[in-house]
Amino acid sequence: MPSAWTRNPGWQMLTLYGLLTLLLVVGLLLIRPLPAWRAKAERFTKDVLPRIVNITASGKYASSDHLLTALELKQPSETLVALMAELAPDETTLFVGPADDPLFMQNLLTFSYLSWPHQLAALGCRVGAAPQVLYRPRAGVRVARAFFYVQAPPSRLAAGSRVLSPKLKLLQVAKGEEWTSYCLQ
């Protein structure tokens, strides 16, 4: 005959755990005032939730959207593909950013992938050193736009730039403009 200690409690234990969890949650709500919880919930939805949604995105651009999360841009892949589609066949885009930023190369390669069939030129800026031209445009191809990743456009061009996100700005490059000087302030 089985004793009370050897029987499987099953649903009784689950009910007990559920009741204890409920009491814990109610107790925590009573200890801290509701506005404090509201502030925490607002901070969570503002700071953490967009990253989770971006990471768990699915669809055609799920991988590239994940790689471009550092841009803090809503639907980054679709936005970049649409901007690149506006270019003429003899135009390309320049990607400018700090060469020492760990995500610079990842974003550059993802940009390059999304810009196909347009070639992407790249300029890495370094503090106290000459800019590093990573990729030059092909002969006969004009640099028509410049994306500035975590890098401010030169002050002479800043007024004409368009803010896409806190970390990404877009600039129309004037015909004949020397884009290799874009790292210099």
Phi and psi at 49, nearest 5°, equal -60, -45
Residues 86 and 177 in one domain: yes
Overall pTM surpassing 0.75 (yes/no)? no
74 and 130 within one domain: yes
Question: What is the C-alpha end-to-end distance of the chain, expressed in Å?
Answer: 87
| pLDDT tens per residue, range 61-118 | 777 877 788 788 888 888 888 888 888 888 888 888 888 888 888 888 888 888 888 8
Q: Are residues 69 and 113 in the same domain?
A: yes
What tens digit of pLDDT does each residue of 129-139 get? 777 778 888 78
Alpha carbon distance 163, 135 (integer Å): 24
Are residues 130 and 49 both part of a single domain? no
Question: Are residues 46 and 16 part of one domain?
Answer: yes
Domain count, the chain: 2
